[in-house]
């Protein structure tokens, strides 16, 4: 994979970690990339590097490790050059070329990892590694530490403490730099184009041929036809793969939150919800659009669609520096609840006012997820959702119970989050029938700027009229 980010940027990130280790009293940080996973027999699942490792190296080969010492010295372990394996699996960078190419101080074959790691760990007062992202890593580190302990009689000192490296990296990754923002913007543009294409193809597939004209498109239109268009558009613009499994949900399937594109038919009069985004050079995008498969919303669909859109607009208005991470969710939920009461999804007589419903949580029958999440290298990216360094305070939870909670994170320029309200109506007693089986979500990716936010995914229309116009075109 080509990275458009210069090696010096990764070098600076490694230097920041070294500085943090120094500030914490010294030590060494260890970080492996992701493992390869066999699919069956001779086939592996498509390989995807570890995001933390990539953030510090820009290196995408498997079986690689990085060590950063508080002194600033960096060591890489990677696969050795091997003509036989390279004929089968592709060219390897190799330890000889790695320092020049990646800007690390030293590089060794990963075959020497066990021997070299215990030497690197000796006489360090602390070791930092990711605690929760690599199965078996603690045991591996323990094995190396035991080797150091075995040499204590010869004067070696063993690290006295272990810390979670992600604590340092999560905070860095939360604020995106100009290089990252450029890639995220481009990923957003590609994904938006894919949604446009899916809408257009949906309308074309559903269009009835004129009388007596044999249609060139004789297929029964299905969810997977639209998924194919998404993948085509991602890949033809250089995206390596989708950032997550694409959801293409026709009709009632839209009410299943983690539905995947399958075989359901796209039927005139129904909606299709697509939640899909590409990954480009290690960075995600995450867009949802909901559209009428044949190009025209029914009145009931349009009513709910406009409520969700207004909810998103309310959330966007408070997605800016100084606001808290939960403010967009609270703003969107208030609008959704008002809409649910207005159209009779919730009975005012039974449920009371908007504030009553916010307190009772009755809206969760139709809106059961949060309005956003951090996004970056991972579609659900890392970063604390509460304000670091703040004290827990007593507050009411959604059910009115007093709980101790840290205040939510204050939004800052450079953070990236999604804004994705929705309404999902499963058939149920007391729910107006005209809304049954309608599922709508609208999702865009927002970069917090100095004064507000930039929506990086608006290359695909979001207003109902604009979607209809696009699909007519
Ligand atoms: N596509 C995953 C999400 O929207 O959170
Ligand atoms: Mn999302
Ligand atoms: Mn999504």
Tell me: do 259 and 366 sit in the same domain. Answer: yes
Which residues line ligand 1 at a C-beta cut-off of 6 Å?
244, 275, 286, 373, 379, 420, 443
| pLDDT tens, position by position, 260-297 | 999 999 999 999 999 999 999 999 999 999 999 999 99
What is the total count of domains within the chain? 2
> Coil, strand, or helix at residue 251?
helix
Tell me: do 149 and 209 sit in the same domain. Answer: no
| pLDDT tens, position by position, 25-77 | 999 999 999 999 999 998 999 999 999 999 999 999 999 999 999 999 999 99
Using the 3D structure, point to which of 132, 155, 172 is the last residue of a domain.
172
User: What residue's CA is closest to ligand 1, atom 3?
Assistant: 286
Active-site residue, selected from the candidate residues 85, 236, 380, 393: 380
User: What residue's CA is closest to ligand 1, atom 4?
Assistant: 286
| Residue span of the structural domain in which 28 resides | 7-172
Using the 3D structure, point to which of 172, 201, 227 is the last residue of a domain.
172
Task: Tell how far the Cα of 449 is from the centroid of ligand 1, in angstroms.
Answer: 22
Looking at ligand 1, which atom is closest to the CA of residue 369?
5
Residue 38 phi, psi dihedral angles, 5° rounding = -70, 140
Report, as ranges of residue numbers, the positions in the chain whose pLDDT lies below 70: 1-3, 208-218, 398-399
User: Which pLDDT score is estimated for 211?
Assistant: 63
Task: Tell how far the Cα of 369 is from the centroid of ligand 1, in angstroms.
Answer: 10
User: Which pLDDT score is estimated for 54?
Assistant: 98
Tell me: do 449 and 422 sit in the same domain. Answer: yes
85 catalytic per annotation: no
Asked whether residue 1 is domain-assigned, the answer is: no
**Crossing angle (nearest 10°) for helices 223-236 and 178-206:** 140
User: Which pLDDT score is estimated for 155?
Assistant: 85
Which pair of structure tokens corresponds to residue 420?
């994705």
384 catalytic per annotation: no
258 catalytic per annotation: yes
Q: Which residues contact residue 122 at a Cβ distance below 8 angstroms, ignoring those fewer than 6 apart?
A: 148, 151, 156, 157, 158
Indicate the pTM of the whole model. 0.95
Looking at ligand 1, which atom is closest to the CA of residue 441?
4
User: Which pLDDT score is estimated for 151?
Assistant: 87
- From 286, 287, 457, the mutation candidate for ligand 1 (largest count of ligand atoms within 8 A of CB) is 286
Residue 272 phi, psi dihedral angles, 5° rounding = -130, 130
Closest by CA to 364, choosing from 407, 309, 426, 313, is 426
Residue with tokens 């025209």: 296
Task: Tell how far the Cα of 162 is from the centroid of ligand 2, in angstroms.
Answer: 33
Looking at ligand 1, which atom is closest to the CA of residue 380?
5
User: What residue's CA is closest to ligand 1, atom 5?
Assistant: 380
Tell me: do 136 and 206 sit in the same domain. Answer: no
Using the 3D structure, point to which of 157, 172, 187 is the last residue of a domain.
172
Closest by CA to 141, choosing from 119, 118, 125, is 118
283 catalytic per annotation: no
> For the domain that residue 263 is a member of, what is the CATH number?
3.90.230.10
Closest by CA to 433, choosing from 334, 300, 319, is 300
Q: Which residues contact residue 199 at a Cβ distance below 8 angstroms, ignoring those fewer than 6 apart?
A: 289, 291, 460, 467, 470, 471
* Nearest-ligand number for the alpha carbon of 258: 1
């Amino acid at each position: 994979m080509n990275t458009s980010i210069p090696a010096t940027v990764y070098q600076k990130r490694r230097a920041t970690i070294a500085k943090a280790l120094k500030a914490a009293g010294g030590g060494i940080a260890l970080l492996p990339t992701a493992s390869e996973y066999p699919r069956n027999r001779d086939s592996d699942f498509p390989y995807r590097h570890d995001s933390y490792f990539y953030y510090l190296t820009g290196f995408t080969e498997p079986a690689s490790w990085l060590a950063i010492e508080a002194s600033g010295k960096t060591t890489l372990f990677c696969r050795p050059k091997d003509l036989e394996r390279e004929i089968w699996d592709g060219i390897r960078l190799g330890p000889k070329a790695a320092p020049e190419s990646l800007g690390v101080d030293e590089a060794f074959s990963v075959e020497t990892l066990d021997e070299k790691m215990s030497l690197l760990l000796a006489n360090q007062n602390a070791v930092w590694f990711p605690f929760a992202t690599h199965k078996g890593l603690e045991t591996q580190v323990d094995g190396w530490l035991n080797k150091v302990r075995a040499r204590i009689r010869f004067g070696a000192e063993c690290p006295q403490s272990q810390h979670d490296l992600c604590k340092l990296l999560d905070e860095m990754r939360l604020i995106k730099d100009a290089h990252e923002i450029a890639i995220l913007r481009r990923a957003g543009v590609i994904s938006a184009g894919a949604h446009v294409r899916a809408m257009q193809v949906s309308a074309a597939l559903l269009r009835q041929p004129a009388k007596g004209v044999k249609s060139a498109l004789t297929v029964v239109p299905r969810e997977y036809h639209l998924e194919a268009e998404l993948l085509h558009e991602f890949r033809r613009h250089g995206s390596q793969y989708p950032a997550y499994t694409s959801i293409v949900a026709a009709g009632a399937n839209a009410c299943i939150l983690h539905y995947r594109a399958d075989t359901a038919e796209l039927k005139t009069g129904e909606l299709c919800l697509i939640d899909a985004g590409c990954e480009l050079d290690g960075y995600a995008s995450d867009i949802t659009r909901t559209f009428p498969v044949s190009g025209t919303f029914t009145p009931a669909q349009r009513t709910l669609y406009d409520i969700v859109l207004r909810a998103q607009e309310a959330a966007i208005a408070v997605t800016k520096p100084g606001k808290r991470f939960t403010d967009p969710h609270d703003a969107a939920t208030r609008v959704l609840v008002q809409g649910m009461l207005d159209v009779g999804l919730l009975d005012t007589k039974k449920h009371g006012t908007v504030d009553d419903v916010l307190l009772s949580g009755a809206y969760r029958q139709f809106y059961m997820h949060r309005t956003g999440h951090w996004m970056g290298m991972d579609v659900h990216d890392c970063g604390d959702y509460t304000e670091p360094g703040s004290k827990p305070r007593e507050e009411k939870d959604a059910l009115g119970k007093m709980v101790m909670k840290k205040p939510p994170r204050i939004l800052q320029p450079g953070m990236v989050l999604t804004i994705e309200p929705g309404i999902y109506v499963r058939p149920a007693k007391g729910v107006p029938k005209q809304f049954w089986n309608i599922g709508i979500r609208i999702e865009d990716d927002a970069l917090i700027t100095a004064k507000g936010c930039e929506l990086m995914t608006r290359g695909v229309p979001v207003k109902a009229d604009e979607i209809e116009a696009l699909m007519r075109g």
